[in-house]
Amino acid sequence: MTSSPGYLLAVAGVGIAALLILIIRIRLDPFVSLLLVSAVVAIAAGIPLTEIVPDMESGMGKVLAHVAPIVGLGTMLGKMLEVSGGARKIADRLFRLFGEHRAPLALGLTGLGFGIPVFFDVGIIVLAPVVYAAAKRGGKGMLYYALPLAAGLAIVHGLLPPHPGPVAAAGLLNASMGLIIVFGLICAVPAWILGGLLYSKWIAKRIYVPIPDYVEESFHDEYAEGARPLGEAPATVGETGPAGEGSSVPSSGTTAAVTARGPDRTTATAETRPEAGFGTVLGIILLPIVLILLQTFSGIVIDDPDNILQQVLSFVGAPLTALLIAVLVSFYVLGVRRGWSARHLVTVAESALKPVGMILLVVGAGGVFGSVLVASGVGDVLSSSLTSTGLPLIVLAFVIALALRIAQGSATVAIVATSGIIATLVEQAHLSPAHLALICVAMGAGATSTSHVNDAGYWLVSRYFGISEKDTLKSWTVLETIMGFTAFGVAALLSLIV
C-alpha cells in the first residue's frame, strides 16, 4: 500500500465509527453492516477493485472453516441436553448436594457447567424454571437466584470454546484450543466467585426483585410451598416466558410438548421415558473437553509427531472430532436409548442449527473486516503505532475488546474484530502457545465486561427475570464488569508466570 500511515489509520478509525453508527444508531443488521464497511474501507485504503472481493471471501472462509462446524456441533449437543432434560438433571442434583441455603452456589455451578456446551441465551431459557422454583421457595428475590446462574453462563460463554468468540480467536491467532480451555477455566472461576456469587448476594440485599407476575400466575402446584423438596424434578414442567412467549423445559426423564396460550396459560403433555443418570449427563458434557485436553497435553508429554498414540489423540482431540464424538454419544444415550426415532433426532438436530445461522454469518463478516484491515496495510500500521505505546499485547487485547463490547454490544463481534486488529502484532511478536492462549482469554474478558442496553444478553436477563432496566444496569452490568476485569487480572498475572 502506498497510502501514508496516518491516512490508513484515519480510514480504519472512520470505518469502525461508521460500523458502530450503522449497528447502534441506524440499527442496520450487523452482518450487512460489516460487509458494507469492509468494502468501503477496502476501496478507501486503495486495495485494487479486482482484489477486494477475493480478500473478503478469504476472510470469511478462513473464519467459518474453523468456526462453523464447531459451533454447529456444540449447538446440537446443547439442544440434546435441553430437550432430554439433562440440564434439569444437573441442576436438581446440585440442589440436593448443596441444600436450599446454598441455592446461589448450586445455580452458579449449574451455569458454569451447563454453559460449556450451550449458548448463553439457551442456558437462560432452559434453566429459568429452576431459578423461579428457587425464588419461590427461598423468597429472597430474583436477583439472589438469577444472577449467579446467569453469571456462570456468561463467563463461560466469553472465555471458553466451543463458543464462537473464543473459537474464532483461536483460529485467527493460531492459538491452542486446549490451552485456552485450561487458562479460561483458571480465570473464569475467580471471576465468577467475585462477581457472580459475592456481588450478586450483596446487590440482592439492596434491590429486591419479586417473582414476575407471569411466573406467579403460571406456576405449577408442584413448585408451591411444601409441595415437593426443591431439587426433585416434577413430572412435567411447562412455563410461560416473558411477555407471553412460551418456553418449555422437559423435566428429568420426560419429553414435554408445550403450547403457549398467552401469558398465563400453558398446555403440556408428557411421555415418560427411561432417563439418563446424573453421571451420564455430566460425562457427556465433559467428554469433548477431556478429549481436547488430551490432545493438548499429548503434544507436551509425548512431543513426537510420529508417535501413533499422539497421532490418535491429536485426531480425536481436535475440537471438531471431539464435539462430533460427543454429539453422536448424546444422540444414542439421550435419544435412541430413550426411545427416540431417527426422525425425531433429525428434527432436534435441525432445530438446533436454525438459530445459529445469523451468528455464524456475523462471525464470518467479522473475519472479513479483519481480513480487509490486514490487506489494506492497516494491520502493519496499527502494529507500529500500538507497539510504540509500550503496552503489553495482553493489555491491548483486553482494552480493544472492551471498547468494542461497550460500543456495539456483541461479545462475539468484539472478540473477532479484536483478533483481526491485533493479528499482525501477535504474529510479529512470536509468542509462546501459552501467551497466545492468554491473549485470547484477555479478549474474552474484555468482551464479557459492561453488558448494557445494546447487548441482547442484557435484555434477556432483564425480561426473563422481571428486572427493570435501571436495576439491570445496577446489577447485571456491574456484575459483568467485575467478572471481566477480574478474569483479565488473573490472565495478566498468569502471563508474568508462564
Taking only the tens place, the pLDDT of each residue in 183-240 is 999 999 999 999 999 999 999 999 999 988 756 554 443 333 333 333 343 333 333 3
Q: Which residues pair with 258 in a beta bridge?
A: 268
Mean pLDDT of 373-394: 74
Q: What is the DSSP letter of 247?
A: E
Which amino acid appears at position 58 of this protein?
S
pLDDT of res. 266: 34
Residue 46 placed within a domain: yes
Q: How many domains does the chain have?
A: 1
Please indicate whether residue 214 or residue 418 has the higher confidence score (pLDDT).
Answer: 418
Residue 373 placed within a domain: yes
Residue 490 placed within a domain: yes
Q: Which residues pair with 272 in a beta bridge?
A: 254
- Measured CA to CA, the distance from residue 29 to residue 234 in angstroms comes to 41
Q: What Rg do the C-alpha atoms of the chain give, in angstroms?
A: 23
Residue 27 placed within a domain: yes
User: What's the pLDDT tens digit per position in 56-76?
Assistant: 998 888 878 878 888 888 878
Name 185's Cβ contacts closer than 8 Å, sequence gap at least 6. Answer: 159, 160
- Measured CA to CA, the distance from residue 449 to residue 402 in angstroms comes to 7
Residue 253 placed within a domain: no
Name 394's Cβ contacts closer than 8 Å, sequence gap at least 6. Answer: 435, 438, 439, 442, 491, 492, 495
Grid cell 460500523 is found at: 19
Angle value at C-alpha 304, between 301 and 306, nearest 5 degrees: 145
Name 122's Cβ contacts closer than 8 Å, sequence gap at least 6. Answer: 78, 79, 82
Q: Which of the residue ranges 146-150, 208-212, 235-239, 320-324 has the most confident prediction, judged by mean pLDDT?
A: 146-150
Residue 361 placed within a domain: yes
Structural domain boundaries, residue 183: 1-118+136-209+341-498
Please indicate whether residue 305 or residue 345 has the higher confidence score (pLDDT).
Answer: 345
- Measured CA to CA, the distance from residue 343 to residue 328 in angstroms comes to 15
Q: What is the DSSP letter of 264?
A: T
Contact 168, 366 (CB under 8 A): yes
Q: What is the DSSP letter of 198?
A: I
Name 124's Cβ contacts closer than 8 Å, sequence gap at least 6. Answer: 149, 150, 153, 460, 461, 464
Residue 444 placed within a domain: yes
Residue 441 placed within a domain: yes
